Amino acid sequence: MSTPVVDIQGLGFAYPDGTVALSDVELHIHRGERVALLGPNGAGKTTLILHMNGIHLPQTGTVAVSGLPVRHDNLIDIRRRVGIVFQDPDDQLFMPTVREDVAFGPANLGLKGRDLDERVEQALATVEVADLADRPPNHLSFGQKRRVAIAGVMAMAPEILILDEPTSNLDPASRVDLTGVLDELDVTQLIVTHDLLYALEICERSVILDAGRIVADGPTRDVLGDEALLAKHRLGLPAGLRVEDLDRP
């Protein structure tokens, strides 16, 4: 089998106050997959994704991205390979204009002049926001900010795109738009969410993390069809809904 894009083995992590955030996490994501990472609040989802781009370094176990171990001396390369779209786009869009914001990552990777411009134009076109290039981020709608945040990460040509709660605060129309955008992206995706319907809608595979451990990993329909499992980990489809009722068209 090919080298996984994300290869996490025996990962453990505790915060300085002793709180154990992750223990013995095993996760492998292969090229082209779109995986949902599910879990209740405080399960360790964000801590886990911050290990994938080296914001946190493993205390025990290993994390590797396309075969490259996440270590202090590899951080630049790791962060180029792993693009994270954070939950609040206002945290992510910090430059004065959309164009400058999208250029931030590739410019840090050393792109300049024409190459940089082309990369930015391409990323903006991918998420269909080319017309917003010269606007300041605070003049955008929430859905537009989300798209621009994705463009800023895609401009770094990552090998995996990680989205932290991408549907939070989105109205139903923007949610449909987001699905359209994600479908168009030719990149491995990890979607962190507790929006189970969204996971069912767009991810073939789901992983449940609870109390820092992976407690389920399999086809989304199987994982979400197990009501006892969901209830045990403080997850559940909206009242009265079952997976069988929600067959994909």
Radius of gyration of the chain (CA): 18
Name the residue nearer to other proteins (CB basis): 97 or 169.
97
Three-state DSSP class for 211? coil
CB 55 to other proteins: min, Å: 6
CB 244 to other proteins: min, Å: 39
Name the residue nearer to other proteins (CB basis): 95 or 197.
95
Asked whether position 157 contacts other proteins by CB under 8 A, the answer is no
List 153, 190, 199, 207, residue binding other proteins (CB under 8 A): 153
* Among 33, 61, 58, 34, CA closest to 47: 58
Asked whether position 139 contacts other proteins by CB under 8 A, the answer is yes
* Region near other proteins per CB under 8 A, out of 5-13, 50-58, 204-212, 231-239: 50-58
Asked whether position 81 contacts other proteins by CB under 8 A, the answer is no
Distance CA 60, CA 20 (A): 12
CB of 5 within 8 A of CB of 29?
yes
CB of 39 within 8 A of CB of 229?
no
Q: Which residues of 197-231 are buried (b: 16+ CB within 10 A; e: fewer)?
A: ebbbbbbebbbbbbebbbbbbeebbebbbeeeebe
Asked whether position 143 contacts other proteins by CB under 8 A, the answer is no
* Region near other proteins per CB under 8 A, out of 107-115, 176-184, 192-200, 204-212: 107-115
CB 192 to other proteins: min, Å: 14
CB of 233 within 8 A of CB of 39?
yes
Asked whether position 189 contacts other proteins by CB under 8 A, the answer is no
List 30, 40, 50, 133, residue binding other proteins (CB under 8 A): 50
Distance CA 195, CA 178 (A): 14
Binding site for other proteins (CB under 8 A): 50, 53, 55, 76, 79-80, 82-84, 86, 88, 90-97, 100, 103-105, 107-109, 136-139, 152-153, 156
